[in-house]
Amino acid sequence: SQTIHQWPATLVQPVGSPLSLECTVEGTSNPNLYWYRQAAGRGLQLLFYSVGIGQISSEVPQNLSASRPQDRQFILSSKKLLLSDSGFYLCAWSLTGKHQPQHFGDGTRLSIL
Amino acid sequence: AQSVTQLDSHVSVSEGTPVLLRCNYSSSYSPSLFWYVQHPNKGLQLLLKYTSAATLVKGINGFEAEFKKSETSFHLTKPSAHMSDAAEYFCVVSSLTDSWGKLQFGAGTQVVVTP
Protein backbone atom coordinates (compact mmCIF):
# COMPACT_ATOMS: atom_id res chain seq x y z
CA SER A 1 0.00 0.00 0.00
CA GLN A 2 1.00 3.59 -0.49
CA THR A 3 2.13 5.86 2.30
CA ILE A 4 3.10 9.52 2.51
CA HIS A 5 5.48 11.02 5.04
CA GLN A 6 5.89 14.66 5.95
CA TRP A 7 8.36 16.20 8.34
CA PRO A 8 8.79 17.90 10.63
CA ALA A 9 5.38 17.82 12.31
CA THR A 10 5.90 21.22 13.91
CA LEU A 11 8.40 23.99 13.27
CA VAL A 12 9.02 27.38 14.86
CA GLN A 13 11.19 29.72 12.82
CA PRO A 14 12.22 33.39 13.12
CA VAL A 15 11.30 35.90 10.44
CA GLY A 16 13.94 35.98 7.71
CA SER A 17 15.18 32.44 8.26
CA PRO A 18 15.17 29.77 5.52
CA LEU A 19 12.71 26.90 5.29
CA SER A 20 12.79 23.35 4.02
CA LEU A 21 9.85 20.97 4.39
CA GLU A 22 10.12 17.50 2.96
CA CYS A 23 7.54 15.02 1.74
CA THR A 24 8.09 11.49 0.45
CA VAL A 25 5.71 8.92 -0.97
CA GLU A 26 6.19 5.15 -0.86
CA GLY A 27 4.48 2.34 -2.71
CA THR A 28 3.76 4.03 -6.04
CA SER A 29 5.66 5.39 -9.04
CA ASN A 30 5.34 8.69 -10.89
CA PRO A 31 2.66 10.15 -8.62
CA ASN A 32 1.33 13.66 -8.94
CA LEU A 33 2.49 15.66 -5.92
CA TYR A 34 0.95 18.72 -4.28
CA TRP A 35 1.72 21.30 -1.58
CA TYR A 36 -1.17 23.07 0.16
CA ARG A 37 -1.36 25.70 2.90
CA GLN A 38 -4.21 25.86 5.34
CA ALA A 39 -4.36 29.12 7.29
CA ALA A 40 -6.27 29.22 10.55
CA GLY A 41 -10.03 29.29 9.94
CA ARG A 42 -9.60 29.17 6.19
CA GLY A 43 -9.74 26.55 3.51
CA LEU A 44 -6.98 24.80 1.64
CA GLN A 45 -4.92 26.80 -0.80
CA LEU A 46 -2.99 24.91 -3.48
CA LEU A 47 0.57 26.24 -3.63
CA PHE A 48 2.40 23.93 -6.04
CA TYR A 49 1.84 20.77 -8.01
CA SER A 50 4.16 18.46 -9.89
CA VAL A 51 3.44 15.83 -12.52
CA GLY A 52 7.04 14.59 -12.78
CA ILE A 53 10.66 15.02 -11.71
CA GLY A 54 11.76 18.61 -12.15
CA GLN A 55 8.26 19.70 -13.27
CA ILE A 56 6.80 22.25 -10.87
CA SER A 57 3.82 24.52 -11.38
CA SER A 58 2.99 27.37 -9.05
CA GLU A 59 -0.61 28.27 -8.36
CA VAL A 60 -0.05 31.52 -6.51
CA PRO A 61 2.82 34.02 -6.44
CA GLN A 62 4.53 33.95 -3.09
CA ASN A 63 7.64 33.75 -1.02
CA LEU A 64 7.90 29.97 -1.39
CA SER A 65 9.32 27.57 -3.96
CA ALA A 66 9.08 23.84 -4.54
CA SER A 67 11.35 21.20 -6.00
CA ARG A 68 11.05 17.56 -6.98
CA PRO A 69 14.57 16.11 -7.09
CA GLN A 70 13.38 12.50 -7.14
CA ASP A 71 10.23 10.76 -8.34
CA ARG A 72 8.66 10.45 -4.89
CA GLN A 73 10.23 13.40 -3.09
CA PHE A 74 8.71 16.88 -2.92
CA ILE A 75 10.34 19.78 -1.07
CA LEU A 76 8.89 23.13 -0.08
CA SER A 77 11.43 25.90 0.50
CA SER A 78 11.90 29.53 1.27
CA LYS A 79 15.04 31.66 1.43
CA LYS A 80 13.56 34.19 3.88
CA LEU A 81 10.38 33.51 5.81
CA LEU A 82 7.72 36.15 6.37
CA LEU A 83 5.20 36.35 9.21
CA SER A 84 2.48 35.64 6.66
CA ASP A 85 4.05 32.25 5.89
CA SER A 86 2.68 30.85 9.15
CA GLY A 87 0.17 28.07 8.68
CA PHE A 88 -0.44 24.37 8.31
CA TYR A 89 1.33 22.89 5.29
CA LEU A 90 0.04 19.73 3.72
CA CYS A 91 1.64 17.51 1.12
CA ALA A 92 -0.52 15.20 -0.99
CA TRP A 93 -0.14 12.68 -3.79
CA SER A 94 -2.44 11.20 -6.39
CA LEU A 95 -2.30 8.77 -9.25
CA THR A 96 -2.02 10.43 -12.64
CA GLY A 97 -5.13 11.17 -14.68
CA LYS A 98 -8.36 12.99 -14.06
CA HIS A 99 -10.73 12.46 -11.14
CA GLN A 100 -8.15 10.81 -8.92
CA PRO A 101 -8.50 11.49 -5.19
CA GLN A 102 -5.56 13.03 -3.42
CA HIS A 103 -4.03 11.44 -0.34
CA PHE A 104 -2.63 13.71 2.32
CA GLY A 105 0.25 13.61 4.76
CA ASP A 106 -0.18 14.59 8.40
CA GLY A 107 1.01 18.14 7.79
CA THR A 108 3.57 20.54 9.25
CA ARG A 109 2.49 23.29 11.65
CA LEU A 110 4.77 26.27 10.86
CA SER A 111 4.91 29.21 13.25
CA ILE A 112 6.92 32.30 12.37
CA LEU A 113 8.11 34.50 15.24
CA ALA B 1 -15.74 25.86 -14.02
CA GLN B 2 -16.50 23.64 -11.07
CA SER B 3 -17.32 24.80 -7.56
CA VAL B 4 -18.68 23.36 -4.36
CA THR B 5 -20.71 24.92 -1.53
CA GLN B 6 -21.02 23.44 1.93
CA LEU B 7 -24.23 24.79 3.33
CA ASP B 8 -23.34 24.60 7.03
CA SER B 9 -20.15 25.88 8.59
CA HIS B 10 -20.93 24.19 11.92
CA VAL B 11 -23.09 21.18 12.84
CA SER B 12 -23.71 19.96 16.37
CA VAL B 13 -25.15 16.50 17.02
CA SER B 14 -25.66 14.27 20.01
CA GLU B 15 -23.82 10.98 20.18
CA GLY B 16 -25.95 8.22 18.66
CA THR B 17 -28.06 10.55 16.50
CA PRO B 18 -27.83 10.89 12.69
CA VAL B 19 -25.38 13.23 11.01
CA LEU B 20 -26.19 15.17 7.82
CA LEU B 21 -23.61 17.38 6.13
CA ARG B 22 -24.89 19.23 3.08
CA CYS B 23 -22.95 19.92 -0.10
CA ASN B 24 -24.06 21.41 -3.41
CA TYR B 25 -21.86 21.49 -6.47
CA SER B 26 -21.74 23.36 -9.72
CA SER B 27 -20.36 21.69 -12.81
CA SER B 28 -20.91 21.83 -16.54
CA TYR B 29 -20.20 18.12 -16.80
CA SER B 30 -20.70 15.03 -14.68
CA PRO B 31 -18.30 15.67 -11.85
CA SER B 32 -16.22 13.48 -9.61
CA LEU B 33 -16.93 14.30 -5.97
CA PHE B 34 -15.21 13.42 -2.72
CA TRP B 35 -15.68 13.84 1.00
CA TYR B 36 -12.65 14.24 3.27
CA VAL B 37 -12.38 14.41 7.05
CA GLN B 38 -9.72 16.33 8.99
CA HIS B 39 -9.11 15.81 12.69
CA PRO B 40 -7.24 18.54 14.60
CA ASN B 41 -3.63 18.95 13.51
CA LYS B 42 -3.92 16.07 11.05
CA GLY B 43 -4.03 15.75 7.30
CA LEU B 44 -7.18 15.13 5.30
CA GLN B 45 -8.45 11.57 5.07
CA LEU B 46 -10.57 10.39 2.15
CA LEU B 47 -13.99 9.21 3.35
CA LEU B 48 -15.55 8.33 0.02
CA LYS B 49 -15.62 9.19 -3.67
CA TYR B 50 -18.20 9.35 -6.45
CA THR B 51 -16.97 8.79 -9.99
CA SER B 52 -20.16 8.23 -12.03
CA ALA B 53 -20.86 4.68 -10.93
CA ALA B 54 -23.49 4.00 -8.24
CA THR B 55 -25.17 7.17 -6.98
CA LEU B 56 -25.16 5.94 -3.38
CA VAL B 57 -21.58 5.73 -2.24
CA LYS B 58 -20.47 3.98 0.92
CA GLY B 59 -17.33 5.10 2.64
CA ILE B 60 -15.28 4.37 5.70
CA ASN B 61 -16.45 4.63 9.32
CA GLY B 62 -20.12 4.16 8.43
CA PHE B 63 -20.45 7.27 6.26
CA GLU B 64 -22.28 7.36 2.95
CA ALA B 65 -23.22 10.00 0.42
CA GLU B 66 -25.81 10.20 -2.33
CA PHE B 67 -25.18 11.90 -5.65
CA LYS B 68 -28.35 13.66 -6.87
CA LYS B 69 -27.85 15.20 -10.27
CA SER B 70 -31.28 16.86 -10.34
CA GLU B 71 -30.50 18.68 -7.10
CA THR B 72 -26.74 19.09 -7.77
CA SER B 73 -26.14 17.75 -4.29
CA PHE B 74 -23.77 15.29 -2.64
CA HIS B 75 -24.82 15.19 1.01
CA LEU B 76 -22.89 13.12 3.55
CA THR B 77 -24.75 11.08 6.16
CA LYS B 78 -24.11 8.71 9.02
CA PRO B 79 -26.91 6.94 10.91
CA SER B 80 -25.36 7.23 14.36
CA ALA B 81 -22.70 9.74 15.38
CA HIS B 82 -19.74 8.68 17.47
CA MET B 83 -17.58 10.94 19.60
CA SER B 84 -14.67 10.21 17.25
CA ASP B 85 -16.62 11.80 14.38
CA ALA B 86 -15.92 15.26 15.80
CA ALA B 87 -13.78 16.84 13.08
CA GLU B 88 -13.93 19.10 10.04
CA TYR B 89 -15.40 17.71 6.83
CA PHE B 90 -14.67 18.91 3.31
CA CYS B 91 -16.72 18.35 0.17
CA VAL B 92 -14.51 18.37 -2.91
CA VAL B 93 -15.09 18.41 -6.67
CA SER B 94 -12.55 17.37 -9.27
CA SER B 95 -11.80 19.75 -12.12
CA LEU B 96 -12.52 18.48 -15.60
CA THR B 97 -10.31 20.99 -17.34
CA ASP B 98 -6.99 20.02 -15.81
CA SER B 99 -5.36 16.77 -16.80
CA TRP B 100 -3.48 16.64 -13.55
CA GLY B 101 -6.52 16.56 -11.29
CA LYS B 102 -7.03 19.88 -9.56
CA LEU B 103 -9.48 19.67 -6.68
CA GLN B 104 -11.89 22.41 -5.61
CA PHE B 105 -12.45 22.30 -1.85
CA GLY B 106 -15.52 23.49 -0.01
CA ALA B 107 -15.06 25.80 2.98
CA GLY B 108 -15.56 22.93 5.41
CA THR B 109 -18.14 21.94 8.03
CA GLN B 110 -17.05 21.66 11.64
CA VAL B 111 -18.85 18.81 13.40
CA VAL B 112 -19.26 18.80 17.18
CA VAL B 113 -20.53 15.65 18.89
CA THR B 114 -21.98 16.02 22.38
CA PRO B 115 -22.35 13.13 24.85
B27-55 pLDDT, tens digit per residue, is 877 788 999 999 998 999 999 999 877 88
Q: Output the average pLDDT for chain A.
A: 93
pLDDT in tens, B67-80: 999 999 999 999 99
C-alpha separations of B74 from A33, B57, B92 in Å: 26, 10, 10
- CATH number (2.10.240.10, 1.20.20.10, 3.30.870.10, 2.60.40.10) of A3-112 reads 2.60.40.10
The pLDDT of residue B100: 63
Q: Sorting pLDDT into bands at 50, 70 and 90, what band is B98?
A: low
Of A99, A103, A105, the CB nearest to B32: A99
Q: Are residues A98 and B42, on separate chains, in Cβ contact within 8 Å?
A: no
The pLDDT of residue A60: 81
Q: Is the pLDDT assigned to residue A47 strictly greater than 70?
A: yes
Least confident window among A38-42, A101-105, B7-11, B106-110 = A38-42
The pLDDT of residue A113: 94
Fold adopted by B3-114: Immunoglobulin-like (2.60.40)
- Residue A1 one-letter amino acid: S
- Helix ranges (DSSP H) in B1-115: none
Q: Is the pLDDT assigned to residue B103 strictly greater than 70?
A: yes
The pLDDT of residue B111: 98
**Set of chain A residues whose Cβ sits within 8 Å of the Cβ of B41:** 88, 107, 109
Q: Are residues B101 and A105, on separate chains, in Cβ contact within 8 Å?
A: no
| A34-43, B48-57, B103-112 — most confident range | B103-112
Q: Sorting pLDDT into bands at 50, 70 and 90, what band is A77?
A: very high
Q: Are residues B102 and A46, on separate chains, in Cβ contact within 8 Å?
A: yes
Nearest-neighbour CA in chain A from B75: distance (Å): 18
The pLDDT of residue A3: 93
Q: Which residues of chain B approach chain A closer than 8 Å at the C-beta?
A: 32, 34, 36, 41-46, 49, 51, 90, 94, 96, 98-103, 105-108
Of A44, A97, A98, the CB nearest to B105: A44
**Set of chain B residues whose Cβ sits within 8 Å of the Cβ of A25:** none
Q: Are residues A46 and B96, on separate chains, in Cβ contact within 8 Å?
A: no
Average pLDDT, integer, range A88-92: 96
The pLDDT of residue B99: 59
Average pLDDT, integer, range B60-68: 96
Alpha-carbon distance B7 to B25, whole Å?
11
CA-wise closest residue to B34 among B80, B103, B115:
B103
Please report, rounded to a whole number, the percentage of residues in chain A having pLDDT higher than 90. Answer: 82
The pLDDT of residue B30: 74
The pLDDT of residue B96: 64
Within 10 A of B90 (CB to CB), how many other CB atoms are there? 23
Mutation for testing the B interface, residue in A90, A93, A94, A102 having most B CBs under 10 Å: A102
The pLDDT of residue B28: 72
Q: Output the average pLDDT for chain B.
A: 91
The pLDDT of residue B72: 93
Nearest-neighbour CA in chain B from A18: distance (Å): 23
Q: Are residues A107 and B42, on separate chains, in Cβ contact within 8 Å?
A: yes
Q: Sorting pLDDT into bands at 50, 70 and 90, what band is B16?
A: very high
Nearest-neighbour CA in chain A from B80: distance (Å): 26
C-alpha separations of B19 from A43, B61, B65, B93, B107 in Å: 22, 13, 11, 21, 18
